Amino acid sequence: MSNQPQLRGTIELRGDKSLSHRAIIFAALAKGKSVLRNLSGGIDVAMTKSLYQSLGVRCAGNPDELIVESSGFHRLATNEKALYCGNSATTLRLSFGVLAGSDVSCVLTGDQSLQSRPIQRVITPLREMGADIHTRGGSDSPPVTVSGRPLRGISYRSPVASAQVKSAVLLAALHADGTTSYSEPDQSRDHTERFLAWQGVDITSSQEVTTLRPGVEIKAFEYHVAGDISTAAFLIVPALLTRGSEIRIRNLLINPTRTGILAILKEMGGDITIENQSERYGEPVADVIVRESPLVGIDTGKYPPVIFIDEVPILAAAAMFASGKTRICNVGELRVKESDRLSGIMQIINCSGGKAEVNGDDLIVTGGIGDRRALPQHQGDHRLAATIEIINLIRDGNVSGKYHDLISISAPEFYDAIAGLTA
Ligand code: S3P
C-alpha cells in the first residue's frame, strides 16, 4: 500500500438509481409533460426509459434534463410482444405493478442475469390482486407474460423485505379497487411511498405497514434527483482508508432506509459527518464529509440488511483494510442479486489477499492484506467490478479502468469521479 493516492475535493454525483427509475415511471403514469433533472446516467435507468417509450411515452433530452411526455396510465399501449429490461430487476419488477392493472398485454424479459432472478415474490401478491401474470411452466424467473386487467386492493404481508416487491404492489394499488396495505419483515427503501405522499396520494407509511387508498391520479411534475448513495459508497470507503484523504459529496440522498452503510462505517470508526441537510421532493438530502480514519471490524447484526444490501460488496472490501473481524450478518439475499454476490465477494477478497468466509447467511471478513492469490472475478456484476477496482485503488494506488462498460450499468461516472478526486 505504498503508492496510495489521496482523495480530496468536492463532488456532486449523478442521481440515485432507485429514485431515477421511479421518477421515469411516475412521469409515464402522469398525463402531460414532466421534467426530470440529474437522472442516473446508468444503463439500467436507460432501460426503464426505453421500456416506457415502447409503451407510447415520449422522452426527449438526456439524463441531465429529460422531458417525459405521456398521455397517462390509461393510454399506455404497445405493438411490441416482448419488452426488454436488460440487467435491470427494478425496471422489470416495478413494471409488473404498472402493467398488471393497465390495458397492456405483453411479455417482459431481460438479459441472462435477469432471466435467473426470482420473480414469484412479485407475482404472488399481484395475483392476489387479480392480476393475470405468469411465467413459462410456473418458473421463478423471466420471461413473464402480463395481461392487464382490473385489480382489487389487498392486505399483504411479504415474506421478504424488498422495495421492488413493495413498489410493484403499490403501483398496482394506485389503480385497484379498494385499499391496499402492505407489510414486510424490515422496512425496505421507501422512495415509492415518499413520492406518492409528495404527489398527494392517500398513503400512510410506517416501519410496520404501508396503506394506500386509490383515487388520486399522478400529476405531471418537475423533479431533481439527489445524488446516488450507492455510488457514493465506492468513494467514501477509499476516502476513509487512504492517508490524508478528505472529500465532500454534495447533495447526496440520505434517506434512512438507504444509509446503513454510513452508520456501519461510522461504527467502525469512520469520520463521516453530515452538513447542510434539507428535504427535496420528500427525500432528505445533505452534504457528506469523509476524512481518513482507521477502521475496526464490527458485527452488523443490529442493522437490518435491507438498509445496506447493495453496499455489502464495498463494505466487505472496507473490512479487509480494517483491524479485526467484521461479521456482515443475514445477507443471504445477496445470493439472488445480479450475480451470487455472497460467493462473489468472498472470492474477490480471498483472491486479493484478504480473508473472507461465508457462514450460513453471514459474511465474515478478517482484516489484513496478504499476497494476492488469483485474479478476482466480477461475474458480470457491476457492483463486484467496482469493488475490485476500489480494492486496487486502496491497495496499489490505481484502478485498472477495464470495467467501464460493466460499471456503467449503474454508474458511468465511476472512473471520472475517482480521477477527479485523486488528481
Ligand atoms: C431496489 C431495491 C433493492 C435493491 C436494488 C434496487 C429498488 O432490491 O437491491 O438495487 O430500487 O427498489 P430488492 O427489492 O430486490 O431488495
Q: pLDDT digit of tens for each residue in the chain (423 aa)? A: 557 789 999 999 999 999 999 999 999 999 999 999 999 999 999 999 999 999 999 999 999 999 999 999 999 999 999 999 999 999 999 999 999 999 999 999 999 999 999 999 999 999 999 999 999 999 999 999 999 999 999 999 999 999 999 999 999 999 999 999 999 999 999 999 999 999 999 999 988 899 999 999 999 999 999 999 999 999 999 999 999 999 999 999 999 999 999 999 999 999 999 999 999 999 999 999 999 999 999 999 999 999 999 999 999 999 999 999 999 999 999 999 999 999 999 999 999 999 999 999 999 999 999 988 899 999 999 999 999 999 999 999 999 999 999 999 999 999 999 999 998
Cβ contacts of residue 145 below 8 Å, gap of 6+? 105, 106, 107, 133, 134, 135
87 lines ligand 1 (CB under 6 A): no
CA distance 390 to 162: 27
Q: Are the C-beta atoms of residues 130 and 151 closer than 8 Å to each other?
A: yes
Give the per-residue pLDDT at 373: 84
User: In angstroms, what is the span from residue 338 Cα to ligand 1's centroid?
Assistant: 11
Cell 439524463 -> residue = 63
Q: Are the C-beta atoms of residues 382 and 410 closer than 8 Å to each other?
A: yes
CA 82 vs. chain centroid, Å, equals 24
Nearest to 78 by CA among 109, 100, 57, 101: 57
Which cell is 172 given? Answer: 398496482
Question: Of all atoms in ligand 1, which is nearest to the CA of residue 94?
Answer: 12
163 lines ligand 1 (CB under 6 A): yes
User: In angstroms, what is the span from residue 22 Cα to ligand 1's centroid?
Assistant: 12
Q: Which of 64, 310, 340, 362 is catalytic?
A: 310
Question: Of all atoms in ligand 1, which is nearest to the CA of residue 165?
Answer: 14
Question: Of all atoms in ligand 1, which is nearest to the CA of residue 17?
Answer: 11
Give the per-residue pLDDT at 1: 59
User: In angstroms, what is the span from residue 164 Cα to ligand 1's centroid?
Assistant: 5
Question: Of all atoms in ligand 1, which is nearest to the CA of residue 161?
Answer: 16
Q: Is 310 a catalytic residue?
A: yes
Q: Residue of the nearest CA to atom 15 in ligand 1?
A: 162
Q: Is 200 helix (H, G, I), strand (E, B) or coil?
A: coil
Which cell is 195 given? Answer: 413520492
Q: Are the C-beta atoms of residues 130 and 156 closer than 8 Å to each other?
A: no
User: In angstroms, what is the span from residue 118 Cα to ligand 1's centroid?
Assistant: 12
CA distance 352 to 311: 19
8-14+227-422 topology per CATH: UDP-n-acetylglucosamine1-carboxyvinyl-transferase; Chain (3.65.10)
User: In angstroms, what is the span from residue 89 Cα to ligand 1's centroid?
Assistant: 8
CA 254 vs. chain centroid, Å, equals 13
339 lines ligand 1 (CB under 6 A): no
CA 283 vs CA 16, 21, 254: distances in Å: 11, 15, 8
Whether residue 143 has a cis bond before it, omega within 30° of 0: yes
164 lines ligand 1 (CB under 6 A): yes
> Among 160, 164, 312, which residue has the most ligand 1 atoms within 8 Å of its CB, making it the best to mutate?
164
40 lines ligand 1 (CB under 6 A): no
Cβ contacts of residue 138 below 8 Å, gap of 6+? none
CA distance 408 to 63: 13
User: In angstroms, what is the span from residue 373 Cα to ligand 1's centroid?
Assistant: 33
410 lines ligand 1 (CB under 6 A): no
Q: How many Cβ atoms are within 10 Å of 280's Cβ, its own excluded?
A: 14
187 lines ligand 1 (CB under 6 A): no
Give the per-residue pLDDT at 3: 77
List every span in the chain annotated with CATH 3.65.10.10. 8-14+227-422, 17-224
310 lines ligand 1 (CB under 6 A): yes
Of how many residues is the chain composed? 423
Question: Of all atoms in ligand 1, which is nearest to the CA of residue 163?
Answer: 14
This prediction has a pTM of 0.98
167 lines ligand 1 (CB under 6 A): yes
Nearest to 16 by CA among 121, 163, 118: 163
Q: Are the C-beta atoms of residues 407 and 36 closer than 8 Å to each other?
A: no
CA 35 vs. chain centroid, Å, equals 22
Question: Of all atoms in ligand 1, which is nearest to the CA of residue 162?
Answer: 14
Second-level CATH architecture of 17-224? Alpha-beta prism (3.65)
Start-end of H helices in 321-357 = 341-351
394 lines ligand 1 (CB under 6 A): no
